Amino acid sequence: MYEGGGKMVKTFWLITLILGLALAGCDRDLPQEKPGQGGKGAMKTIVAVGDSLTAGLGVAGEESYPAQLEKKLQADGYGYRVVNAGVSAETSSGTLSRLEWVLTLRPDIVILETGANDGLRGIDPQVAENNIREILKILGDRQVVVVLAGMKMVRNLGAVYVGRFNGMYPRLAEESGAIFMPFFLDGVAMQAGLNQADGIHPNVAGYKKVIDNLYPYVLEAIKRKEGK
């Protein structure tokens, strides 16, 4: 039990960290990207924009869905790299505000997965809806093909809230013409064996399932991109 004073201090640090910076203790590791590399000019770029579900909280970097997706695509002969641009604990407002930065990666395709943290914090769904609409508009203006991943909010927030939240994704997809994956965690959410102990974040097996579900939509996006 050594570190008497020290421990106390460390506790304070922790408090400060949480207080001051509201950081989730995020364990993901981004695949290392070197700009200009990995493309040989021909590589096209998919940017996975999202929150901890994209970042891969609680699983190793190479197990996160963007890394797995890249592997699968390249194994299938698609010349795409997938950049993990997930930020844990991010709400849709955060995603909107960093969109310009993400666009400096010049993505051909964006997989957009956001809004879950808005819901889990009980933020008015209208806020998330406006944010995502704005994001989709910017991406559309830049000719970026978008896969919009839908989200369904947990039931305990109440039927009113859940109804408003869940309803926004199909509406947004329709408005924007984005490729729509109705539920990002379809078949994974609330499945004990596919999630980590926190009951929210998929484990490795869970991400496999996510990839399986997601893959056709990505292929469709590629087709749309190449078709142009």
Q: Does 26 bind another protein (CB under 8 A)?
A: yes
In this chain, which of 20, 41, 77, 227 binds another protein, going by CB under 8 A? 20
Q: Does 138 bind another protein (CB under 8 A)?
A: no
As a three-state string, the secondary structure of 167-199 is: HHHHHHHHHHCCEEECCCCCCCCCCHHHECCCC
**Annotated catalytic sites, by residue?**
52, 198, 201
Sheet of strand 80-86, all strands in order from the earlier edge strand to the far edge: 80-86, 44-50, 109-113, 145-149, 179-181
Query: Strand pairing partners for 48?
Result: 84, 111
Q: How far is the CB of 227 from another protein (least distance, A)?
A: 26
**Binding segment toward another protein, per CB under 8 A, in 22-30, 70-78, 208-216, 217-225:** 22-30
Q: Does 196 bind another protein (CB under 8 A)?
A: yes
Q: Which is nearer to another protein, 22 or 42 (by Cβ)?
A: 22
In this chain, which of 43, 44, 61, 138 binds another protein, going by CB under 8 A? 61
Going by C-alpha positions, the residue among 77, 73, 165, 161 that lies closest to residue 114 is: 165
**Binding segment toward another protein, per CB under 8 A, in 139-147, 159-167, 173-181, 213-221:** 159-167
Binding mask 36-55 for another protein (x = CB under 8 A): -----------x--------
Q: Does 68 bind another protein (CB under 8 A)?
A: no
Q: Which is nearer to another protein, 102 or 146 (by Cβ)?
A: 102
* Measured CA angle at 98 (ends 95, 103), to 5 deg: 110
The Cα diameter of the chain in Å comes to 65
Q: Does 12 bind another protein (CB under 8 A)?
A: yes
Report the DSSP pairing between strands 109-113 and 44-50: parallel
Q: How many residues bind another protein (CB under 8 A)?
A: 77
**Binding segment toward another protein, per CB under 8 A, in 72-80, 172-180, 196-204, 214-222:** 196-204
Q: How many CB atoms lie within 10 A of CB 213?
A: 18
Q: How far is the CB of 159 from another protein (least distance, A)?
A: 6
Q: Quote the crossing angle between the two packed helices 125-141 and 159-176, to the nearest 10°.
A: 10
What phi, psi does 62 have (nearest 5°)?
-75, -5
